[in-house]
Every structure is written in C-alpha cells, then in structure tokens.
Amino acid sequence: MDFYKVIRTRRSIRSFKPDPIPPDILERILDAARISPSGSNRQPWLFILVDDPDTKRKLAECCSRQMFIAEAPVVVVVCGFNIHYNRGGYMGDLSMLVDCSIATTHLILAARAEGVGSCWIGAFDNNCIKKLLGIPEDVNVVAVVPLGYPKGDAFVDVSVESRKSLTDIVRLNRFDGPGWSR
Ligand SMILES: Cc1cc2nc3c(=O)[nH]c(=O)nc-3n(C[C@H](O)[C@H](O)[C@H](O)COP(=O)(O)O)c2cc1C
C-alpha cells in the first residue's frame, strides 16, 4: 500500500471483530516496531502481547475502563526501560518516551498497511498495568495498543478539517516567522 495512503487512512479504531490476526501478519507488524530508530540505538522497549480474555478485561479496566480494548484479539502493551541516557542534550530520560513512541508509531502504521485496526491508548494507570502484568519497578508503560480487524468500513481518510493547517503549524526561520506555504 502506498505510504501516504497508509498515513491518511490510519484511524483510531474502537470496535473490533473477534477474528484473530494471522501470526505472519502479526509478526510483520511487530517487526516494524522492532526495526524503528532509537537514540544511540538503545532500543529501550519490550512489547507484551495480551490475548488472554480475562487479562484483556482487567487491562481495559486499567485504561480508564475503555472496555473496547478487550474486544481486540490482541492488545500490545509497550513498555519502556528507564535507561539513563548520557549522550548530552536536555532530553535525558525523556528519550525513552521518544523512542517508544516512534516504535509505537511504526507499529500502528504497519498495522494499517496490513488492514489491521489499532488505537493508541494513552489514558491508563501505569501502576495498575504494571501490577497486572508483572512489569518490574524500573520499567514503565508508554502505550497500550489494541489490534484487530475493524467492524465496518473504518479506514476512512483523516478529515482535513480535523487537523490544523500547515500554515498554522509551520513557520519560516523563526518561531514568530510567517506561516509557511509553497
Ligand atoms: C498519545 C495518544 C494517546 C491517546 N489516548 C487515547 C485513549 O486513551 N483512548 C482513545 O480512545 N483514543 C486515544 N488516542 C487516539 C486519539 O484520540 C486520536 O488519535 C485522535 O483523536 C485523532 O483521531 P484519528 O486517530 O482517528 O486520526 C490517543 C492518541 C495518542 C497519539
């Protein structure tokens, strides 16, 4: 699938069919996360796949009771290691969040390219999930991503109106420079 079609039709999917994702497809999606870039190539992540129905239900409860999460055949919990980066720059330990967010982006875009729906979940209780899944002290949850085939025709183009315009978000040369346009 054309790259721009992937990014224009990647939507947050909140209703899933129970059909499982074939292992070869799931592997390609996970591999897209695996090969994503990270600061100093530290790869400070671990992906927990949750497919046990009872654990999925409890996981959804840890995510502000967004119970649609438990509908997905598999839910990916993106975990980040609190590695102490010391390559300079102010990002420091925030780098782990950046790296894991890039990997999560690769994952959800690859899912879209495979016809698999996803939703980036940021509303969760870190300690609740850590306790549920036995995640160690120095590791934190960065994102939760249910994966599954959407109910209905859900891969509709991102509506242009729902996003800020380029001239609103791109400036020339300075923060207070003119809005860019070609
Ligand atoms: C960091 C982050 C956290 C999010 N958290 C949630 C969430 O907890 N629950 C949810 O339903 N959607 C969540 N979303 C999805 C956004 O609401 C969604 O991406 C946005 O409204 C744009 O819609 P679209 O993804 O369909 O283009 C999150 C997205 C991001 C990037």
Task: Give me the pLDDT at residue 87, please.
Answer: 65
Task: Give me the pLDDT at residue 85, please.
Answer: 67
pLDDT exceeds cutoff 70 at 178: yes
Q: Which CATH superfamily is domain 3-169 in?
A: NADH Oxidase (3.40.109.10)
Spatial separation of the C-alpha atoms in residues 92 and 168, rounded to whole Å: 30
Domain layout of the chain by residue ranges: 3-169
pLDDT exceeds cutoff 80 at 89: no
For ligand 1, mutation pick of 11, 12, 13, 67 (most atoms within 8 Å of CB): 12
Sheet with 139-148: list strands edge to edge: 45-50, 74-81, 139-148, 117-118
For ligand 1, mutation pick of 121, 142, 155 (most atoms within 8 Å of CB): 121
Residue 66: name the closest of 145, 132, 156, 158 by CA: 145
Residue 120: name the closest of 139, 102, 138 by CA: 102
